[in-house]
Structure 1
């Protein structure tokens, strides 16, 4: 199973959840403070909503928040109403590794996160930028509800 991921920065996650629930005809798969995601079967889509403002520091009561999260690319680095990042969810770590190999063989700079906690899930992923700087991740979820889950503002380095 593969599906495209679209992550949007929104100004009010509750209003956005209401709108996207109506638009997509489904309830969110996961909701946390300032975060929601929809796992849509048809068309295959993972829609992620991240509440925030550019370079916002996550809420103080967010679990396991990195102190450097306000500088983390792919989190709240875009204005509400704009694209946060794009992704391709794949079924296995092997598919992430195959994507990494394909991207590096093509000469693209990648950033690996082999076993990371992000968006309230354990994931394996590889990041790459398109020619205009838009971030793409190829990822798989290895544990959808871990005890040490981090919000979407978990820190990672920018490969640029």
Structure 2
């Protein structure tokens, strides 16, 4: 069963963790100095926040697959819609190792479909840039890169 994913860019990580912990009635399952994630079953959502200096608010939406087969089906649908902006294998993003498809809907909303197969010690494997915050996904106007 897939899990809905929402990633929000925040201005201050500690106050945001307090707010969302109260809203969800649960502590985050992952906490880093610049990132937190709740893996909730009610509602079934992977809700993540990060303090990265990017535009505040919803960064992207997504679907988290339970296995490679589910991700493959999602990828085929996105390819049929000619919406795949980037396909990644064994990438590091949000302190996790994942395979993923990045897409944009007709309005430009970024969608991340992914299967996570391990943890990582860094936010991303992208090269550090002094003039930009760490980023996951393809470069796009108004996005993190």
The answer on 1:102 being equivalent to 2:77 is yes
CA RMSD of the aligned region, Å? 1.8
Q: C-alpha separation between the residues in 2 aligned to 1:8 and 1:20?
A: 11
The answer on 1:157 being equivalent to 2:138 is yes
Q: C-alpha separation between the residues in 2 aligned to 1:156 and 1:6?
A: 14
Question: In structure 1, the residue corresponding to 2:27 is in which secondary structure?
Answer: coil
Show structure 1 runs of 5+ residues with no match.
Answer: 54-75
Shift of 1:159: 7.1
Superposed structure 1 runs of 4+ greater than 2 Å apart? 106-110, 152-160
CA spacing shift, 1:17–1:159, aligned 2, 3 Å: closer
The answer on 1:141 being equivalent to 2:105 is no
Is the 1:111–1:158 contact (alpha carbons within 8 Å) kept by the matching residues of 2? Answer: no
Where does residue 41 of structure 1 map in the other structure? 41
Shift of 1:44: 0.2
Give the alignment partner of residue 83 of structure 1, picking from 38, 58, 71.
58
Q: C-alpha separation between the residues in 2 aligned to 1:138 and 1:101?
A: 11
Q: C-alpha separation between the residues in 2 aligned to 1:159 and 1:51?
A: 19
Q: C-alpha separation between the residues in 1 aligned to 2:26 and 2:83?
A: 36
- 1:25-56: CA deviation from partner (whole Å, max 9, x where unpaired): 00101011110001111110111001132xxx
Q: Relative contact order: is structure 1 or structure 2 higher (C-alpha 8 Å, sep ≥ 6)?
A: 1
Instruction: Provide the TM-score with structure 2 as the length reference.
Output: 0.83
The answer on 1:2 being equivalent to 2:6 is no
Shift of 1:134: 1.0
Q: C-alpha separation between the residues in 2 aligned to 1:5 and 1:129?
A: 15
The number of equivalent residue pairs is 132
Is the 1:117–1:154 contact (alpha carbons within 8 Å) kept by the matching residues of 2? Answer: no
